[in-house]
Amino acid sequence: MELNSKIPAGPLSEKWTKYKTEQKLVNPANKRKLDIIVIGTGLAGASAAASFGEMGFNVKAFCIQDSPRRAHSIAAQGGINAAKNYPNDGDSVQRLFNDTIKGGDYRAREANVYRLAEVSNSIIDQCVAQGVPFARDYSGLLANRSFGGAQVSRTFYAKGQTGQQLLLGAYGALSKEVEKGTVKMYARREMLDVVVVDGRARGVIVRNLVTGELERYAAHAVVIASGGYGRVFFLSTNAMSSNGSAIWQCYKKGACMANPCFTQIHPTCIPIHGDYQSKLTLMSESLRNDGRIWVPEDAEKARLLREGKIKATDIPEEERDYYLERRYPSFGNLVPRDVASRAAKERCDAGYGVNNTGRAVYLDFKEAIQRLGRQAVEEKYGNLFEMYERIVDENPYVTPMMIYPAVHYTMGGLWVDYELQTTVKGLFAAGEANFSDHGANRLGASALMQGLSDGYFVLPYTMQNYLADQINVPHISTDLKEFDEAENAVRQKITKILSINGDTTVDMIHRRLGHIMWEKIGMSRTEQSLKEAIEEIKALRAEFWQRVKVPNVDGMNTELEKALRVADFLEMGELVARDALMRNESCGGHFRAEYQTPDGEAKRDDEHYAFVAAYEFQGVDNEPILHKEELKFENVELKQRNYK
Amino acid sequence: MNIKLKIWRQRNASSEGQFVEYQLNDVPAEASFLEMLDILNEQLVLKGEDPVTFDHDCREGICGACGLYINGHPHGRFRNTTTCQLHMRKFKDGDTITVEPWRSEAFPIIKDLMVDRTALDKIIQAGGYISVHTGGVPDANTIPVNKHDADLAMDAASCIGCGACVAACKNGSAMLFVGAKVSQFALLPQGQIESADRVQKMVARMDELGFGGCSNTYACQAECPKGISVTNIARMNRQFLAAKITEPL
């Protein structure tokens, strides 16, 4: 297999225009003859499905939830980036491109990132036209705020609910097409396999979660927009049904998985409080605009805080260590996520952590409340403060918040070329499900940008280019033997899981997998920890297939749903570890303790590792084949990221 | 803490349901209500019983998937709180907690505490959007929007579509849900073009789907986990009347 990224020739700023000028088109009459399947209805999936429908294709859209409006994009809080430069603070497409490439620690493709920056402005225009109620100032014009990894204010927001509002915009567009009949919506369906016929993706096998029946759907092309695989860590900020199974089935059918070890640990989440806990809650990065992060300067004071003998408010100003402002004076509390997360871990490992667990740092709004007044702080962050108080039972207007890093996003995903097509023809991946734009670390407010960019402004073009030579292919039949084979394989897997009838629940095994992932493949990784993790995951996988207990009931079976996902996570976790072990450098969210600068920063090795690692499946118990896509940087100079 | 649960169990839409009692001990006070149900389900699975089915997803109060009738209130008795944000510290040791699904003609039961809320999607499909296509729209700052109106639109747009308003209403009305969507667009200049059609189509669809009318008890507002105001219903009614007179469908 050879990786061909299909990046158009020519200067960076002209590549996308050149592509659009030269791509093939499908005329309106032919569009009606072509079917497209879209898996997932988050920002990427809903915007793609709606746009395809508007263009005249027949779309079948699938979501795991009871309604497309509940996809996990809805939980994104802080905002969406765009290079509008409305605040007149020096922003431009080129600068958004530079920041994203640098933020990703030079492990993303230049051409894709530039295109993302280029279409960012159209996204804001589109959303405003849809009636997305972005924050505005008193002039009636759009307001902006700043986010980590940038020195300009380019983030558009709708209170702390930006993801919700953008998703409802896309859901509206999708609903419009459902009403028109161009999109057929299938809710409460989970994709369990992709069907490949003569080397092209031609359909999917899904489980109807209500009836428990397996169903077949066929199309000329399939788009995977199923999100990330962060729940391989069990505890994460992802929703309970977020999973990696759709992309994993694609991987097993020949699509390469790229950079699986690039996982993002978000610095500002509510700390863990117990082992029954099912998920972690994010506190938006926007809080770092006004909140100041600190721990006590004196380890003894930290101990007293942990033991509950003193309170945070007992520590006087001069005894507080604002460690991000100290280490990174120019970016301060707004350093990128990976840097902020590691710095918190470093302080806690050194014995300065707070909370009864010692795994927390303070995020303090005292100074902001003094400067802006409580009302202004409430207006900006009110809903986040409320959310915090509900969970922790402490008032953050009075006592500083406690935060700790948690798994949040996966930069890795299905390998795609410039057209967002995987290594299987006709199989596309969009949004968090692909690997393409964020390199080794995603900047805040860039996930929403990428999801909508892929769905509204990239796939509608590249999909036409692919389908242009498919106009003579009649509707695909679901009676083909490839559909029989795929459905039988899924059925056998389900039968096997139901027949084990062991003595441990799916969650118990998932929790143990999460523990291995977090301790050995988490914020800091070593050769030894990774080798141990690979062996431990293999053993746990074997245990799953002997000991799991899933009730054998007809119809709705939520334990079976979880078991199918965890079975895949138990394979995926191993690939994450293998990739991390292969990459003998530190970059972005991938921190190998052996590779760091004297002052503890990530040390990249551009000479040997400036490539995308794409893995080709060779069987569950065999090592995958590693393919390398060299990353060529012609427009930015590779340097050590410096936020000091 | 130790609690007693009375949970509605129903095998599927066509079977008859009943309350089943469970004793649950050593529940951590920091656990969320849904985590408490996870603990119960883990015990049921290990005993070889079918766990309790309920909808849930983001578990941070924004996706709108979860929704349980807890001790006679949708999402429990606390204001502005979804079921997933309700914590066990709000209950007392020894409490008996009754858990039921949303009860409304428009939301048939799927299993146990899980209901089918497709009807809400169908109302949105009738016109709960601005019909722009992708691309070809003006620059985002071309039309300024008065901040006050933009803020009110945002408040209306915060609806998470959980259906608590319908479940709380003695008439099973979806007026708060529809009113919120109609208001969001009525308050923005971008929404004006289709406003007369939108309100009439959405209201007609709501009526077709078996939702009841509004008799102004304000139960919906009291139980809405996002604090959506009944002012939105008034705004919708005004829009509806005006549209019926000036631009009937």
* pLDDT tens sequence across A150-172: 889 999 999 889 999 999 999 99
| Contact criterion met (CB below 8 Å) for A544 and A567 | yes
Specify the pLDDT at position B144: 98
Residues B57 and B130 in one domain: no
Span B197-203, mean pLDDT? 98
Whether residue B125 has pLDDT greater than 90: yes
Q: Mean pLDDT check: name the lowest of A382-386, A557-561, B140-144.
A: A382-386
Whether residue A220 has pLDDT greater than 90: yes
Residues B103 and B193 in one domain: no
Q: Which of B111, B129, B163 is the last residue of a domain?
A: B111
| CB-based contact A137 B118, cutoff 8 Å | no
A181 lies within 8 A of chain B by CB: no
Whether residue A146 has pLDDT greater than 90: no
| Closest alpha carbon within chain B to A82 | B140
| CB-based contact A75 B56, cutoff 8 Å | no
Whether residue A48 has pLDDT greater than 90: yes
pLDDT > 70 fraction of chain B, expressed in percent and rounded = 100
B25 lies within 8 A of chain A by CB: no
| CB-based contact A278 B38, cutoff 8 Å | yes
| Closest alpha carbon within chain B to A506 | B42
Name B9's bridge partners.
B18
User: Of the candidates B35, B62, B137, which has its C-beta nearest A126's C-beta?
Assistant: B137
Name A364's bridge partners.
A292
**CATH code at position B184:** 1.10.1060.10
Residues B107 and B127 in one domain: no
| CB-based contact B118 A555, cutoff 8 Å | no
| Closest alpha carbon within chain B to A270 | B60
Specify the pLDDT at position A599: 84
Domain membership of residue B133 as a residue range = 118-246
B48 lies within 8 A of chain A by CB: yes
Residues B104 and B124 in one domain: no
Cα gap A52→A460, rounded to integer Å: 6
Beta strands in chain B (DSSP E): 3-9, 18-24, 69-70, 73-74, 96-100, 109-111, 114-115
* Chain B residues closer than 8 Å to A559 by CB: 45, 51
Q: Where are the alpha helices (DSSP H) in A430-553?
A: 447-452, 459-467, 481-500, 506-520, 527-547
Whether residue A380 has pLDDT greater than 90: no
Whether residue B161 has pLDDT greater than 90: yes
* Chain A residues closer than 8 Å to B121 by CB: 67-69, 175, 185, 187
Q: Which of B44, B78, B111 is the last residue of a domain?
A: B111
| CB-based contact B64 A70, cutoff 8 Å | yes
Whether residue B169 has pLDDT greater than 90: yes
Residue indicated by tokens 């007693």: B4
* Chain A residues closer than 8 Å to B130 by CB: 129-131, 172
CA distances to A441, A520, A575, A590 from A517, rounded to whole Å, are: 18, 6, 11, 13
A361 lies within 8 A of chain B by CB: no
- Residue A236: pLDDT band with limits 50, 70, 90: very high
Q: What is the DSSP string of A185-253?
A: EE-SEEEEEEEEETTEEEEEEEEETTT--EEEEE-SEEEE-----GGGGSSSSS-TT--SHHHHHHHHT
Q: Mean pLDDT check: name the lowest of A278-287, A423-432, B143-152.
A: A278-287
| CB-based contact B38 A507, cutoff 8 Å | yes
Residues B67 and B124 in one domain: no
Q: What are phi and psi of A430, to 5 degrees?
A: -135, 155
| Closest alpha carbon within chain B to A51 | B134
Q: State how far residue A458 is from chain B, nearest Cα, in angstroms.
A: 11
User: Of the candidates A164, A179, A390, which has its C-beta nearest B81's C-beta?
Assistant: A390
User: Of the candidates B53, B127, B134, which has its C-beta nearest A126's C-beta?
Assistant: B134
User: Which of A127, A130, A269, A380 to substitute to test the interface with B, most B CBs within 10 Å?
Assistant: A130
Which residue intervals of chain A bear CATH 1.20.58.100? Answer: 481-617
For the whole prediction, is pTM greater than 0.90? yes
CA distances to B2, B36, B86 from B26, rounded to whole Å, are: 6, 10, 18
| CB-based contact A51 B134, cutoff 8 Å | yes
Whether residue A643 has pLDDT greater than 90: no
Whether residue A96 has pLDDT greater than 90: yes
3-class DSSP assignment, residue A58: strand
Specify the pLDDT at position A284: 85
Specify the pLDDT at position A83: 98
ipTM field: 0.98
pLDDT > 90 fraction of chain A, expressed in percent and rounded = 93
Using one digit for the tens of pLDDT, what is the confidence trace for B171-198? Answer: 999 999 999 999 999 999 999 999 999 9
Q: Which of A252, A273, A235 is nearest to A522 (CA)?
A: A235
Residues B125 and B202 in one domain: yes
Cα gap A66→B65, rounded to integer Å: 8
Specify the pLDDT at position A43: 98
**CATH code at position B36:** 3.10.20.30
Whether residue A641 has pLDDT greater than 90: no
Whether residue A32 has pLDDT greater than 90: yes
| Closest alpha carbon within chain B to A76 | B62
Annotation marks residue A337 as catalytic: yes
Number of folded domains in chain B?
A: 2
| CB-based contact B144 A140, cutoff 8 Å | yes
* Chain A residues closer than 8 Å to B42 by CB: 505, 507-508
Interface of B with A in 184-223 (CB under 8 A): 184-185, 188, 190-191
| Closest alpha carbon within chain B to A553 | B50
Interface of B with A in 82-121 (CB under 8 A): 85, 87, 89, 110-111, 114, 116-118, 120-121
Whether residue B18 has pLDDT greater than 90: yes
Specify the pLDDT at position A574: 98
| CB-based contact A126 B31, cutoff 8 Å | no
Q: Mean pLDDT check: name the lowest of A329-338, A565-574, A606-615, B51-60.
A: A329-338
Specify the pLDDT at position A381: 86
| Contact criterion met (CB below 8 Å) for B49 and B40 | no
- Virtual CA dihedral for A548, A551, A554, A557, nearest 10 degrees? -70
Spot the catalytic one: A70, A107, A292, A337: A337
Residues B87 and B176 in one domain: no
| Contact criterion met (CB below 8 Å) for A287 and A381 | yes
Residues B33 and B142 in one domain: no
Specify the pLDDT at position A147: 84
The number of C-beta contacts closer than 8 angstroms across A and B is 210
User: Of the candidates A125, A172, A173, which has its C-beta nearest B138's C-beta?
Assistant: A125
**CATH architecture of the domain formed by A481-617:** Up-down Bundle (1.20)
B37 lies within 8 A of chain A by CB: no
Whether residue A142 has pLDDT greater than 90: yes
- Virtual CA dihedral for B62, B65, B66, B69, nearest 10 degrees? 110
User: Of the candidates A122, A133, A273, which has its C-beta nearest B153's C-beta?
Assistant: A133
pLDDT > 70 fraction of chain A, expressed in percent and rounded = 100
Residues B219 and B178 in one domain: yes
Residues B242 and B128 in one domain: yes
User: Of the candidates A140, A239, A277, which has its C-beta nearest B57's C-beta?
Assistant: A239
Residues B10 and B55 in one domain: yes
Specify the pLDDT at position A617: 98
| Closest alpha carbon within chain A to B148 | A138
Q: Which of B85, B111, B137 is the last residue of a domain?
A: B111
Q: State how far residue A178 is from chain B, nearest Cα, in angstroms.
A: 7
Residues B31 and B78 in one domain: yes
Specify the pLDDT at position A131: 98
User: Of the candidates A68, A282, A456, which has its C-beta nearest B134's C-beta?
Assistant: A456
User: Which of A166, A276, A464 to substitute to test the interface with B, most B CBs within 10 Å?
Assistant: A276
User: Of the candidates B48, B55, B150, which has its C-beta nearest A66's C-beta?
Assistant: B55
Specify the pLDDT at position B166: 98
User: Which of A20, A54, A74, A402 to substitute to test the interface with B, most B CBs within 10 Å?
Assistant: A74
Using one digit for the tens of pLDDT, what is the confidence trace for A591-635? Answer: 999 999 988 889 999 999 999 999 999 999 999 999 999 999 999
Cα gap A43→A70, rounded to integer Å: 11
Cα gap A266→A263, rounded to integer Å: 10
Specify the pLDDT at position A148: 80
Which residue intervals of chain A bear CATH 3.90.700.10? Answer: 266-407
Long-range (24+ apart) CB contacts under 8 A made by B235-239 are B235/B179, B235/B182, B235/B183, B235/B186, B236/B175, B236/B178, B236/B179, B236/B182, B236/B183, B236/B186, B236/B199, B236/B203, B239/B182, B239/B186, B239/B195, B239/B196, B239/B199
Q: Which CATH number fits domain A266-407: 3.90.700.10, 3.30.1360.120, 3.30.420.40, 3.40.50.300?
A: 3.90.700.10
Span A445-456, mean pLDDT? 97
Specify the pLDDT at position B111: 98
User: Which of A52, A120, A178, A179 to substitute to test the interface with B, most B CBs within 10 Å?
Assistant: A179
| CB-based contact A549 B45, cutoff 8 Å | yes
* Chain B residues closer than 8 Å to A161 by CB: 62, 158
Specify the pLDDT at position A149: 81
B167 lies within 8 A of chain A by CB: no
